[in-house]
Structure 1
Amino acid sequence: MEALAAVLGDPALAFPLRLSLRIAVATLCLHATLGVALGWALSKRRWPGRSLLDIAVTLPMVFPPIVLGFGLLMLLGRHGLGGWIETGFGAGLIFSEAGVLLASVLVGLPLVVKPVEAAIAALPANLAEAARTLGHGEIPIFARVILPNVAGALGAGLLMATARSLGEVGVTLMLGGNILGRTNTISLEIYNAVTVGEFRRALVLSAALGLFSTLVLIVLRRRAPAP
């Protein structure tokens, strides 16, 4: 207990905790909006570019995180698109909080998009058709008919994506740079602790993230319908 209190009471953890919380909240908002929009788009079959979008969304699920992170580092660095971004906006994505946010969004996005896509595709077509015959437009139909029917899939996806994003290291390390006091998240603090031999610190932080992931699993199991 003393070791636990010593680690959790360390002032050096204040910044990673605040950063991780900010990133988690921002990621949740982006996942909720992008997840629904992309899930809806991918649920529609046979439109130009759908396969490419599906690959781009799904890739973070199967691609090694460190390889994906390195590819994005090359693409978004100063010698790639990052140079244009920095010129246009006065700041780049790499080695910044924006890079950490981008990594968090990318690794968790498939866990939101794919369940929403499947849920929308499984909806009976006559639900929307009936609403159209009553004179409702596409936006009201989406908000009042489709969205409530996929809320369960969206909620489960958001829970899984949040747990996945909080534990992300590979892509975050490449895009954020693990700069102390600037881009070091809680998951990177575990990495830092291991590299300097502070295994007790790494154990406590790992247990905290592991407990959060376990709670997510328990919530998902309780939400799942009985067989």
Structure 2
Amino acid sequence: MNDIATVLTEPHVIHALSLTARVALTTLGIHLILGLLLGYALSRPRWFGRELVDLLVTLPLMFPPVATGFLLLMLLGRRGPVGGWLGTYWNTEVVFSFSGVLIASVVAGLPLVVKPVQSALENVSGRLAEAARVLGKNEWQIFLRVLLPNIRRILITGLLLALGRSLGEVGITLMIGGNVSGRTSTISLEIYNSVSSGEFERAAVLSFLLGLVSLGLFALLRYLGRARPVLENPI
């Protein structure tokens, strides 16, 4: 217990815990918004650029995290097309900052929200939306009052899976967030640093802590899976 208390009261660990919590909460909000918007957009067939957007969203699932991080580094770095523009006109640097860690977290988990939402909307939107339109509902009313209630469990499941994926993210974060202890180092990176320096007891304590959070997310997923579905009044 003394070893656990010692590790958890280290300044770098306290900062990593705070940073991880802030990134996780911010990521959750961004995933909620982008998950719904992109999932809805991708569930609509035949619009210009749909395949490209689908590719970009799905890429982090198929591409190695370090390679994904490298591509983002080339894009968002000081000499990158986006990073250079932000630095020149907005005096803002994305890489090796909180923004870089946040982007890594969002990119890593986003497909786990968007793809289930897209699939769910493709399955329910046709018949329910058409019935709602016959009854005079506009598109916003259809989305908020008809479609969203019918996919909410899938949305929550996707958010939990994405949160778990983001908490364990290392490869992308190393590339664009950096690994500056006390600045951009998350709990996952502190575990990586501890193993690299041979501090296995410290790594074990932090892994145990992260494991408890993961078990909590798993318990929520099991509850959602066992909970009896509630039939919505779609219209």
**Superposition TM-score, scaled by structure 2 size:** 0.92
CA RMSD, Structure 1 to Structure 2 (Å): 1.5
Shift of 1:2: 2.3
Alignment of 1:5-16 (within 5 A): 5-16=5-16
Residues 25-77 of structure 1 show CA distances to partners (whole Å, capped at 9, x for unaligned) of 11000000000010111111222211111111011011110111111111211
Residues 131-179 of structure 1 show CA distances to partners (whole Å, capped at 9, x for unaligned) of 2222221111111111111100110000011111011011001101111
- 4+ residue runs of structure 1 moved beyond 3 angstroms? none
Q: Aligned partners of 2:73 and 2:224: how far apart in 1?
A: 38
1:224 is paired with a residue whose SS is: helix
Q: Aligned partners of 2:102 and 2:125: how far apart in 1?
A: 36
Q: Aligned partners of 1:224 and 1:182: how far apart in 2?
A: 38
Mapped pair 1:190 → 2:191: yes
Q: Is the 8 A contact 2:100 2:177 kept in 1?
A: yes
Alignment length (residue pairs) = 227
Matched to 1:183, the amino acid is: T
Q: Is the 8 A contact 2:70 2:175 kept in 1?
A: yes
Shift of 1:94: 0.8
Shift of 1:215: 2.2
Which runs of no fewer than 5 residues in structure 1 stay unpaired? Answer: none
Shift of 1:180: 2.1
Mapped pair 1:169 → 2:170: yes
**Other-structure match for 1:79:** 79
Mapped pair 1:115 → 2:101: no
Matched to 2:150, the amino acid is: N
Mapped pair 1:101 → 2:109: no
**Other-structure match for 1:202:** 203
Matched to 1:91, the amino acid is: T
2:79 is paired with a residue whose SS is: coil
2:7 is paired with a residue whose SS is: helix
2:47 is paired with a residue whose SS is: coil
Mapped pair 1:181 → 2:182: yes
